[in-house]
């Protein structure tokens, strides 16, 4: 017996306050997406995401904002911009994911702690990777 | 000798000295001086897209304000610097008046935005031209199959960078042809290597890079060329974990290292010791060194 699929429950009533902010910070209109899936099929990291781009947008359309903000997927986006480049509706998911991250980071919750970087990695990994990761994933 | 202000960026001063050095030497062979701009600071390594995040644009814009006193074009080599500087510039030029004033308040000097951020590949194409480059080649790389790997930062977002097609760019392939090698068409030429996920999600970055490597190799490539220190690093750590060794694998070089070989630069001028995986045995086997 299949369990009730919670993620597709439509929440009615007032729009989630974070959704306004996601649209504002990203400059994207979530409603424009018609779920063709081009973003997810092109996403180089989509295979590892719990909620891939097109599904995240669908959840936002249905008011399931908390699920998206709690997902790991938004932290796996590497900002390569394939999704937005191929979107026939001009919805740039990378900007949406960044808005979701920014909302969480501005609540002072870091996903990467610079103090945990090992000396071995510091000696080895190019600087640009650290700077980019700290900028995208930490307060 | 034509001189351009040049922005090296943080990685080219440390982990990717070989990209900096090989580019300067190649440029000099081609009659171009890359003149390091004064007092530059880090570009920020990645562009922040949140529309209210003006603070992130100040660092790159400070560089552009300083560079605008040195010349009309600022030359970059690192794909990330190119991407971030050009997008920050675009952010300023498309800002509302109040945003613009806030941004300019944080700069140390007046800046009207009069500068063009270009990549060294664009200088090669426009100033030297592929026929011109061909005529300067000392050692044609005949028969060597080369995959030009652009990754994400050189080509996206298309409307701001206007570098080349975001799906099938050709600039580096044309360079490869000009130096006598054979460009290999492969589907993952603009696929992401996993980028900075290598810091906190290394396994994913390695697997994403592995797909790029395998796709290039299965398309017949012997050498991959890149403009990005992080792509170079990620592809090399993925290759190191692939279990392949020597000539059965594929080596990833900076485009300037391959150019350097064809222009007759010496092995010790091209900084192969700074590549994560030593490409020298492979290059010797192929008769390139």
Give the tens place of pLDDT for each residue, A17-39. 999 999 999 999 999 999 999 99
Q: Which residue has the higher pLDDT, A50 or B250?
A: A50
Same domain, A74 and A38: yes
Task: Place B244 in a pLDDT band, splitting at 50, 70 and 90.
Answer: confident
Does the pLDDT value for residue B135 go beyond 60? Answer: yes
Domain, as residue range, for B218: 130-285
Same domain, B201 and B264: yes
Instruction: Write the pLDDT tens digit of every residue in B207-230.
Output: 999 999 999 999 999 999 999 999
Measure CB to CB from residue B44 to each of A81, A85, A131 and give the nearest one: A131
Query: Can you give the CATH number for the domain in which B267 is found?
Result: 3.40.50.11810
Same domain, A64 and A49: yes
pLDDT cut 70: percent of chain A above it? 91
Q: What is the ipTM of this complex?
A: 0.95
Number of domains in chain A: 2
How far is Cα B61 from Cα A138, in angstroms, rounded to an integer?
22
Boundary residue ending a domain (B102, B120, B138): B120
Does the pLDDT value for residue B246 go beyond 70? Answer: no
The reported pLDDT for the residue numbered A5 is 55
**Residues forming beta bridges with residue B145, ordered by sequence position:** B182
Q: Is the peptide bond before B157 cis (omega within 30 degrees of 0)?
A: yes
The reply to whether the predicted model has a pTM over 0.90 is yes
Number of domains in chain B: 2
Q: How far is CA A123 from each of CA A41, B22, B66, rounded to the nearest angstrom?
A: 36, 22, 31
Task: Place A1 in a pLDDT band, splitting at 50, 70 and 90.
Answer: very low
Average pLDDT on A61-87 reads 97
Same domain, A57 and A125: no
Q: Answer yes or no: do B10 and A128 touch at CB < 8 A.
A: yes
Residue A73 maps to a domain: yes
The reported pLDDT for the residue numbered A15 is 82
Contacts of B196 in chain A (CB under 8 A): 78, 128-130, 132-133, 136
Same domain, B102 and B136: no
Same domain, A102 and A121: no
Query: Can you give the CATH number for the domain in which B69 is found?
Result: 1.20.1050.140
Contacts of A121 in chain B (CB under 8 A): 199
Does the pLDDT value for residue B116 go beyond 90? Answer: yes
Same domain, B45 and B97: yes
Q: Which two tokens stand for residue B159?
A: 């409307």
CB atoms within 10 A of CB A86: 15
Does the pLDDT value for residue B77 go beyond 50? Answer: yes
pLDDT cut 90: percent of chain B above it? 96
Distance between A10 CA and the closest CA of chain B, angstroms: 28
R_g over Cα of chain A: 16
Same domain, A86 and A46: yes
Domain, as residue range, for A136: 111-139
Same domain, B136 and B107: no
Residue B71 maps to a domain: yes
Instruction: Write the pLDDT tens digit of every residue in A80-114.
Output: 999 999 999 999 999 999 999 999 999 999 999 99
Same domain, B152 and B233: yes
| Mean per-residue pLDDT over chain B, rounded | 96
Same domain, A75 and A136: no
Task: Place B249 in a pLDDT band, splitting at 50, 70 and 90.
Answer: confident
How far is Cα A8 from Cα B171, in angstroms, rounded to an integer?
45
Boundary residue ending a domain (B85, B120, B155): B120
Q: Answer yes or no: do A127 and B166 touch at CB < 8 A.
A: no
Measure CB to CB from residue A127 to each of B10, B53, B198 and give the nearest one: B10
Measure CB to CB from residue B204 to each of A48, A94, A98 and give the nearest one: A48
């Amino acid at each position: 017996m299949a369990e009730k699929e919670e993620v597709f429950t439509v929440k009615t009533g007032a729009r989630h306050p974070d959704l306004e902010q996601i649209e504002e910070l990203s400059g994207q209109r979530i409603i424009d997406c018609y779920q063709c899936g081009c973003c997810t099929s092109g996403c180089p990291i989509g295979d590892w995401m719990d909620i891939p781009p097109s599904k995240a947008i669908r959840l936002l359309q249905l008011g399931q904002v908390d699920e998206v903000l709690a997902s790991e997927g938004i932290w796996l986006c590497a900002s390569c911009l394939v999704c937005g480049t191929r979107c026939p509706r001009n919805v740039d998911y990378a900007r949406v994911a960044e808005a979701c991250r920014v909302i969480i980071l501005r609540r002072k919750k870091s996903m990467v702690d610079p103090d945990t970087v090992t000396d071995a990695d510091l000696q080895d990994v190019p600087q640009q990777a650290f700077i980019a990761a700290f900028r995208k994933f930490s307060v | 000798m034509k001189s351009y202000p040049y922005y090296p960026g943080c990685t080219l001063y440390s982990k990717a000295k070989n990209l900096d050095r090989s580019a300067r030497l190649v440029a000099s062979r081609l009659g171009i001086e890359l003149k390091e701009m004064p007092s530059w600071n880090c570009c920020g390594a990645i562009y922040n897209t949140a529309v209210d995040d003006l603070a992130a644009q100040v660092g790159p814009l400070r560089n552009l304000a300083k560079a605008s006193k040195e010349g009309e074009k600022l030359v970059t080599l690192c794909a990330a610097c190119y991407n971030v500087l050009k997008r920050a510039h675009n952010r300023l030029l498309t800002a509302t008046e109040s945003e613009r004033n806030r941004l300019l308040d944080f700069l140390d000097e007046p800046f009207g935005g009069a500068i063009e951020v270009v990549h060294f590949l664009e200088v090669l194409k426009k100033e030297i031209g592929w026929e011109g480059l061909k005529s300067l080649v000392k050692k044609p790389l005949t028969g060597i199959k080369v995959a030009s790997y652009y990754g994400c930062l050189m080509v996206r977002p298309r409307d701001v960078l206007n570098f080349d097609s975001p799906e099938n760019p050709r600039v580096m392939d044309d360079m490869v042809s000009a130096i006598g090698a054979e460009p290999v068409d492969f589907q993952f030429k603009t696929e992401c290597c996993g980028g900075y996920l290598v810091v906190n999600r290394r396994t994913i970055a390695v697997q994403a890079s592995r797909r790029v490597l395998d796709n290039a190799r299965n398309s017949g490539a012997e050498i991959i060329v890149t403009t990005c220190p992080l792509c170079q690093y990620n592809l090399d750590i993925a290759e190191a974990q692939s279990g392949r060794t020597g000539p059965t694998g594929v080596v990833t070089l900076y485009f300037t290292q391959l150019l350097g070989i064809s222009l007759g630069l010496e092995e010790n001028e091209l900084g192969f010791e700074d590549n994560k995986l030593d490409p020298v045995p492979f290059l010797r086997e192929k008769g390139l060194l």
